[in-house]
Amino acid sequence: MGNILSLFSGTHEISSKVAEVIIAPLDDEGAIDSDLGGEKILQYWPESVDEDVSANWQERNTPGSPVPLLQWVSGSGRNFSFETVFTRDMNGEIGSDVEEDKFNVDVDAAIAWLRMLCLNDYKNVGDVKYAASAPPVLWVLFRGTAMGYNTTAAKSLGTGGSNENGIYCVMTQMSTSRKNWFQDGQQRTASVSLSFSEVIQVGQGIYPYGRTQLKSFANKYTRTPSK
């Protein structure tokens, strides 16, 4: 069967005119890492995407005050999650018995690809053998949306082109539900729940962003009170 990761190409429908979810691992320089498969797309668009962001405000109690003062400390980061599904209608080995298309992917290979993006690795560094390296920083693009806010990183790194609004992040959790099999044991259907946390350290740089990066886009929402 060969390397299981090679059986899921994830490239059969990449198009700038179609809404797709693209996930790409980045190397130590912040470029798309072809050694880890490069850009791949999910088979289906998720039904929903949940995200949260919060700010850390610390209470400062003052004698006699009925309400404490609040001092802003930092942001708590941006987290997002969604569930994706991989399916196939036809049995057989993808690439030889069955052509990969939008209705037939190697489900086991797709799961292995996502799991790889959540795992660390080991390599020799000088005299140190099996030095642990962190899981890769990822670039996740919900094509056609405006979910990527870090224009500072995007302009500096040029990931995916100047008009793409991807999110620089790391995968923090992956839960898999294997649901159906063919008679020979090949996986037919599986759903995968993925969680991510946005990062500002990408490659060799740190790219913080704030409300200024959102202001021009946020101003497109023009609903104001009636007078």
Name the stretches of the chain with pLDDT < 70: 1-18, 161-163
Q: Residue ranges per domain, the chain?
A: 4-54+71-218
Check residue 163 and give its pLDDT. Answer: 62
Helices (runs of H) and strands (runs of E) counted in the chain: 3, 11
pTM: 0.85
Distance CA 5, CA 114 (A): 10
Half-sphere exposure of 149 (CA within 13 A, CB side): 17
Pair 170, 138: CB distance under 8 Å: yes
Pair 42, 23: CB distance under 8 Å: yes
Check residue 10 and give its pLDDT. Answer: 57
Check residue 17 and give its pLDDT. Answer: 55
Pair 210, 204: CB distance under 8 Å: no
Model confidence over 157-189: pLDDT tens digits? 888 765 677 999 999 999 999 999 998 889 999
* Residue corresponding to tokens 């999910």: 42
